[in-house]
Amino acid sequence: MTKHGQNFLIDNNIATKIVKAADLDLVDNVLEIGPGKGILTKLIAPSVNFLTAIEIDKILFQQLANYFSFNKITVELINQDFLKYNISDIKCKFISNLPYNVGTAIIQKILPLQNWTIAVFMLQKEVVERLVAKPGDKSYGYISVFTSYYVDAEVLFDVSSKCFNPHPKVTSSVVKFKNKKIETTEHVLFEFVKHAFSMKRKTILNCISSFCNIPKDKASNILNSCGLNAFLRPNKLSIFDFLNLIKEIKKL
């Protein structure tokens, strides 16, 4: 692993499957995050209208720049930290073998944006499980609700550590997101969801009471309006349950 948390994919069959999953077309614009040594980049570039690849490592960036020096018309390489990169409004697709140490942060930056259609990401399997977890699952939490609010997610396949150099100590998974293109972020929703999961051993009744600073009888009325049992724990509530609760909370 590099200082930026990169484990380089070396399996061409896996790379081909990842790129294929993005349903690329010659009219597509693609943004690749952390191209590394370019195993995905070299497959994406001939298949799309334009590819922007953002690499934080200066040495890797220069190696890619040398390789693509003949093709500056359809490929742009940028030496920058993606988390500091200002994404344009151009419609695009995302493809990336995301660095483990910042994968969740990158996803939280991308998902609220409306200018993309499909994203195919490879991450640590445990992270993917948290992203796609359903109510009641062991891995279900704030990031699961966040993900389900913005996208439809599908886990495609697992990737062995043997497919990387150096070998990570974990299995990876590839996940595909389809953008729901939510126009307005419910900031109160995410504040409440964070609050609820910070006290996930408490009942949803207690969560509402403390979040809104209201007596439990008023919190109980909110739950009754939503048809929810006051003794449910937060990890049993779906995105739709949380949204319904926020509608009632906003009436206070």
DSSP string covering 172-194: EEEEEEEE---SS--HHHHHHHH
Pairing relationship of beta strands 50-55 and 75-79 according to DSSP bridges = parallel
Q: Tell me, what's the pLDDT at 24? A: 98
- The answer on 22 and 100 residing in a single domain is yes
Both 165 and 235 in a single domain? no
Same domain, 173 and 193: no
Which of the listed residues 136, 160, 179 is the one where a domain comes to its end?
179
Same-domain status, 108 and 202? no
127 contact partners, CB below 8 Å, separation of at least 6: 100, 103, 104
- pLDDT tens, the chain, 252 aa long: 445 557 899 999 999 999 999 999 999 999 999 999 999 999 999 999 999 999 999 999 999 999 998 777 899 999 999 999 999 889 999 999 998 889 999 999 999 999 999 999 999 999 999 999 999 999 999 999 999 999 999 999 999 999 999 999 999 999 999 999 998 778 899 999 999 999 989 999 999 999 999 999 999 999 999 999 999 999 999 999 999 999 999 999
For the chain, the domain total comes to: 2
What confidence score (pLDDT) does residue 5 get? 57
> Which of 162, 179, 196 finishes a domain?
179
The neighbouring-strand residues paired with 92 are 116
Residue 227 CB-density burial (10 A; 0-12 exposed, 13-18 middle, 19+ buried): exposed
Same domain, 155 and 96: yes
Among 179, 195, 214, the domain-final residue is 179
Give the pLDDT confidence score for residue 210 in this predicted structure. Answer: 97
* Residues 144, 196 within the same domain: no
Q: Are residues 141 and 236 in the same domain?
A: no
The rounded distance, in Å, linking the Cα atoms of 226 and 104 is 31
Q: Which domain holds residue 196?
A: 187-249
Same domain, yes or no: 173 and 224 = no
Three-state secondary-structure class, residue 86: coil
Q: What is the pLDDT of residue 1?
A: 46
53, 77: one domain: yes
pLDDT of residue 4: 56
Q: Is 137 helix (H, G, I), strand (E, B) or coil?
A: coil
| Domain identity same for 83 and 128 | yes
Cβ(92)–Cβ(116) under 8 Å?
yes
The answer to whether residues 174 and 199 belong to one domain is no
Q: Is the whole-model pTM more than 0.75? A: yes
Asked if residue 210 and residue 146 are part of one domain, the reply reads no
